[in-house]
Structure 1
Amino acid sequence: MKSPIKVVVTGAAGRIANSILPRICHGDGFGFDQPIDLVLLDIAPALKVLNGVIMELQDCSFPLLRGIEASADPMVAFKDADFALMLASCPYQPGMMRLDFLTRNKAIFKEQGIAINAVAKKTIKVLVVGNPANTNCLVLAAHAPSIPRKNFCALTRLDHNRAISQLCFQAKCTPADISGSICIFGNHSSTMVTFTEDGTIKGKPVADVVGKEFLVSQFEPRIQERGYAIISEKGSPSVFSAASAAIDCIHDWMVGTDRVVSMAVASSGKYGIPEGVFYSFPCVCKGGEWEIVDLKVDPTRNPELNTKLQKSYEELVSEAKMAGIY
C-alpha cells in the first residue's frame, strides 16, 4: 500500500458526486493500492447533506478510504491537497446570456483558484468537470499561478467515450475492436472536432467500416449535440456518464495508459493551436503526466479539418475574453 493522498471533490453534494464518490473510494480512479483521505467541499447550506454522504461512505467500509471530512471553506478544503476534482459550477439556465454564464462561473473558479494557489501542494493535479469546463479550467489556472499549468486538465473524456460508443453502435462491435487514435480536438462544446482518420475497427480504417457519409453527416454532429439530446430526453444533464468519464480520465492520468485518450490540457503550439487556452488533444499518460501525441495522420494538413480546429480555438479565446482572462 502507498501513503494516502488527499483528494478534494467540489460540488460534493451534487448528483455527479453521488455517482463518482463510491468509485473513487473503491479505487477505480487512483488505483487499488492507493489509500485516500477524502475532503468534500460544497456551499454551507449543503453541509447537512454532506454529513449524510459521509455516513453512507463510511457504511460502505471501503478499505482505501482512510479519512473523510466536509467543508464549506476552500482554504480549509484545499490545504495540502494532492488532487482536486472540480464538479461544482454554475449551471446554464434557459435564457441566460453567455456572458452572464461565464461571469458567474468565473467567480466560482477564481475563488477556488486563489485557495489552491495559497494552500494546496504545488504538485496538486486538478481535473475540471463543471461546465464550461475548458474555460473554467483556464480561469482556475490563471488564479493559481504557482501551480504548473500541466497539472490542470478539463474533461473531454466524456466526448471521447461518446465517440467510441457511437462507432460501436454503427459498426456493431465492442470498444475492444477499436484501435488506433480516435480522439476529440478543441472545446467541450458544439465546436469540438471528432477525429477518426488514425483509427481502425477490427483492423480496417474507420471510414471503410462505417462509411464516410455517416462520419460527416451523423457521427460528428451527434457527438457535438449529445449533451443537449440527453437533457431533452431526461430533463437534466448527464450524470453517471460524466462521472464514469471523470473516473476514466483520473485513472489514465494518474495510473497511466498507452492508449490515446482525449484530454483538454494547456495548449503549447501543437496542431497549430497557440499557447493560452485549454484545448482537447490526443494524449498518452505515464507516471501522473500527460503528453500530447503526434498522430500518424496530421489533421492540420486537411484544410477542412484545420478550419474546424481553428474555429474551436477561436471560440475558446472568445470565452476567455468574456471571462476576463484575455
Structure 2
Amino acid sequence: MAEPIRVLVTGAAGQIAYSLLYSIANGDVFGKDQPVVLMLLDIPPMLPVLDGVVMELQDCALPLLKEVIPTDQEEVAFKDLDAAILVGSMPRKDGMERKDLLKANVAIFKSQGAALDKYAKKTVKVLVVGNPANTNCLIAAKSAPSIPKENFSCLTRLDHNRACSQVASRCGVPADKVKNVIIWGNHSSTQYPDVHHCVVNVQGSVKPAFDVVKDDDWLKGSFIATVQQRGAAVIKARKLSSAMSAAKAICDHMRNIWMGTAEGEFISMGVYSSGNTYGVPDDLIYSFPVTIKDKTWKIVDALTINDFSRARMDATAAELVEERDAATSFLSA
C-alpha cells in the first residue's frame, strides 16, 4: 500500500463537499490503492456541522481513509498537502455588487495562496472551484510565488460535462460516446462551449458532432446558451446551486490530473495562459482544451479556430481581463 497523500477540501461543511468527500475517501479520484488523509477546512461557525461530516466519513468504514482532520486554522489545513480542492468562497448575496464580491474573494484566496506557499508541498496540485473560479485561482497562484503557476487550475469540467451531455442527448448516445468538446474562457455566462472539434461515436463509427447532430442552428445557438446558463437553471429549479454534478466534475478533473487523459482525448480546464496561445492574453486563468500526462497538462495546440469561435473566445477573454484588473487592484490595496 502506498504512503497516504494529504488532500484538502475547503468549504468542507458545504453541500458540494458533502457530495465530494465520499468519492475521494473511497478511492474514486486518486486510485483504489492510494490511502488518503482528508484535511477539512471551514469557518468557525461551521465547525459543529463539520463534526457531523467527520462522523459520517468514519461511519462509512472506508479502508483507504487513514485520517480526517477538521479545522478552521489554515496552518493546520495546508500543512504538507499533495492536493488542495478550494471549494469555499464568498457567495454573491442580495444587493452585493460584483466588485464587492471580487474584493471579498480576493481576501480569501490571497490568504489561502499565502498558506499554500508557506505550508504545502511545492508539488501540490491546486484546484479552485469557488466562484469567480478563474480569477480566484489567479489570485491564489499569484499569492503563492514559490509554487509553479502550472500547479493551479480552476474547474470548467462541469461546463465540459454539461456540453457532452447535451450533445449526447441530441444524438441519442451515452455521454461517454462524445469526446473533445471544449470550454473556452471563463466559468461564467460568457464561456464558449465549442463543438467544432467534437466527435461522436455512433455504433462504432466516429464522426464530427456537426455531421451527427445535423442542426447547425442548434449547435451555434440554443446549445451554447443552455450550457452557459445551466448553473442558473439548476438554482432556479432546486433553489440551491449545483452540488452533485459539481462534485462529479471535481472528481473527473482531479482524476485526470493524477491519472492522465486517454490517448486522442482532451478535456477542458482553466489553466495559466502564457505565450499568447490561441490569441488569449497572458496572465489569465483561461479554460483551454488540455491533455495530461505525468500530472502535467499541455494545451492542445494548432486547432483550427473559425471566425464564429474567435469572436466568442475573445469576448470571454475580455471579461477575464476586466476581472483580473479589478481583482489585482484589490490585491495591492
Q: TM-score, normalised by structure 1?
A: 0.96
* CA offsets 1:73-95 (integer angstroms, 9 cap, x no match): 11121011111000100111233
Question: 1:228: how far off?
Answer: 0.8
1:18-97 paired onto structure 2 within 5 Å: 18-97=18-97
By how many angstroms is 1:303 displaced?
Answer: 2.1
Give secondary structure in 2 for the equivalent of 1:324: helix
Looking at structure 2, the residues matched to 222 and 232 of structure 1 have their Cα atoms a distance apart, in angstroms, of: 14
Deviation at 1:113, TM superposition (A): 0.9
Task: Give the superposition deviation at 1:324.
Answer: 2.2
Residue in structure 2 matched with residue 178 of structure 1 by the alignment? 178
**Corresponding residue SS for 2:197:** strand
Q: How does 1:305-316 map to 2 (within 5 A)?
A: 305-316=309-320
Equivalent residue letter for 1:227: G
Distance (whole Å) between structure 2 residues aligned to residue 51 and residue 234 of structure 1: 26
Q: Which residue of 1 aligns with 2:164?
A: 164
CA distance in structure 2 between the partners assigned to 1:177 and 1:24 by the alignment: 25
SS of match in other structure, 2:114: helix
Q: How far apart, in 1, do the equivalents of 2:148 and 2:199 lie?
A: 35
Q: 1:35-62 deviations in whole A, cap 9, x for unaligned? A: 1011100111211221221111111111
Structure 2: which amino acid aligns with 1:9?
Answer: V
Q: CA deviation at 1:109?
A: 0.7
Cross-structure match for 2:191: 192
Question: 1:121-174, CA deviations, whole angstroms, 9 ceiling, x for partnerless residues?
Answer: 111110001111000001111111111000000000000000000001111111
Deviation digits for residues 204-248 of structure 1 (CA, Å, limit 9, x no counterpart): 221122210111121111101111111111111101100000000
What residue identity is the alignment partner of 1:219?
Answer: F
Residue 231 of structure 2 corresponds to residue 260 of structure 1: no
1:204 is matched with which residue?
Answer: 207
SS of residue paired to 2:187: coil
Shift of 1:178: 2.1
**Residue number in structure 1 paired with 2:300:** 293
Q: Amino acid of the residue matched to residue 254 of structure 2? A: I
The answer as to 2:105 corresponding to 1:105 is yes
* Equivalent position amino acid for 2:246 in 1: A
Give the counterpart letter for 1:182 in structure 2.
V
| SS class of match (2:195) | strand
Query: Quick one: percent identity of the two aligned structures?
Result: 47
Q: Could you list the runs of 4 or more consecutive aligned residues of structure 1 that deviate by over 4 angstroms after TM superposition?
A: none
In the TM superposition, residue 294 of structure 1 has moved relative to its aligned partner by 2.0
- 1:274 Cα deviation (Å)? 2.4
Long gaps (5+) in structure 2: none
Q: Describe the superposition over 1:170-201 as per-residue Cα deviations: whole angstroms up to 9, x where unpaired.
A: 1111123224x211110001111111111222
User: What amino acid does structure 2 have at the position aligned with 1:205?
Assistant: P
* TM-score, normalising length: structure 2: 0.94
Q: Distance in 2 between matches of 1:193 and 1:45?
A: 38
Match of 1:2 in 2: 2
The CA distance in 2 between the partners of 1:143 and 1:251, in whole Å, is 25
1:321 aligns with 2:320: no
In structure 2, distance between residues paired with 1:133 and 1:176: 26
User: d(CA) in 2 for partners of 1:260 and 1:53?
Assistant: 35
Residue 229 of structure 2 corresponds to residue 225 of structure 1: yes
- Greater Cα shift, 15-24 or 316-325: 316-325
Number of residues of Structure 1 aligned to a counterpart in Structure 2? 322
Distance apart, 1:293 and its partner CA: 0.9
Q: Match for residue 249 of structure 1?
A: 253
Q: What's the counterpart of residue 278 of structure 2?
A: 271
